[in-house]
Amino acid sequence: MIKRFCLVVFLLCTFCWSVTLVRPGMTIAADSAVADEDDFAEYDNKIIPVNDPLESFNRVIFTFNDRLHIWVLEPTAKVYSKAVPSLFRTGIRNFFSNLMEPARFLNCLLQGRFSEAHDVFLRFLLNSTAGVLGIMDPATYDGMKTHDRRFASTLSNYGAGRGPYLVLPFFGPSDIRGFFGLVGDTLTNPVFWTLRDEPLAAVAVQGGKAVNRTSFHLGEYQRLLSGTLDPYIAIRNVYRQSEQ
């Protein structure tokens, strides 16, 4: 009796299971208009409002940045990456990133992320000492996480909206909040304070940083743009998507 009961239960289970398994294949046979609707719906609710009243101004700056990247930055970075070994370039990247840790610490505190602030503090301590002024990154090697909290995210934390899209000369895609974030980041950057009386040196350091950064992403910008029909819209969309 029990065995028969088990058998019935088993049969029932198998039947249910088979029905759920077969189902995915069946939806394909469904009316194609309905399927269309489903497909579009998946993307409809993800359409991001454009909010770009300054488009014509932005397009001018975009073209400027674009030419600067393709004519100056990329060729320089290409030569530089051949002349300077990757290990050395990574060291430079680490050094500048480490200098921003105090600012990250401050932003973590302002955002009430105390455990992240703790992480950032320990990273800074370890990398500045054992990592020789931040050139090496033993903290990441030890599995300590980075928390790249910038001033823009602090502003967002206090309720500041994104504001219209804004293309900044040299810095690229941003928005009004991003602009004020950049001002905040600059004011908390020790490089800025060290070189505030020597604007030429400051520009040189910024340029060097940009070349160093680009050397890790050679050809990526051109590749990204080659498959686009409207580079300006494509980049704006990439910015909006990755900021979400």
Partner 1 sequence: MPVKKSNLVFLCFLLISLLVFPLSWSAAAMGPEAQLKLSVDKLLTVLNDKQLQGPEKTELRRQKVAEVAFSQFNMTRMAKLCLGRGWRKLTPEQRQEFTRLFKRMLAKTYVSTIDDYSGQKVVFTREIINKDRAEVRSKIVSDDKEIPINYRMKLEGDRWLIYDVIIENVSLVRNYRSQFAPLMQKKGYDGLIEQMKKRIKEIESGEKKNNG
Q: In the complex, which residues of this chain contact partner 1 (CB under 8 A)?
A: 3, 6-7, 10-11, 14, 17-18, 21-25, 27-28, 36, 39-40, 42-43, 46-47, 86, 90, 216, 219, 223, 226-230, 233-234, 236-238, 241-242, 244
Q: DSSP class of residue 70?
A: I
At its nearest, how many Å lie between partner 1 and the CB of residue 75? Answer: 14
The least distance separating partner 1 from the CB of residue 70, rounded to whole angstroms, comes to: 12
Complex with partner 1: residue 11 or 201, whichever CB lies closer: 11
Pick the closer one to partner 1 by CB: 115 or 226.
226
Surface-to-core class of residue 145, CB atoms within 10 Å of its CB (0-12 exposed, 13-18 middle, 19+ buried): exposed
Output the six-digit token pair for 242: 């990755």
Phi/psi at 175 (nearest 5 deg)? -150, 180
Q: Where are the alpha helices (DSSP H) in the chain?
A: 2-27, 32-44, 55-67, 74-83, 86-99, 101-110, 114-129, 138-141, 151-157, 176-187, 190-194, 199-214, 220-226, 231-243
Q: What is the closest distance, in whole angstroms, from the C-beta atom of residue 42 to partner 1 in the complex? A: 8
CB of 237 to partner 1, least distance (A): 4
Taking the least distance from each CB to partner 1, the nearer of 129 and 222 is 222
β partners of residue 165 = 175
Cβ nearer to partner 1, comparing 39 with 148: 39
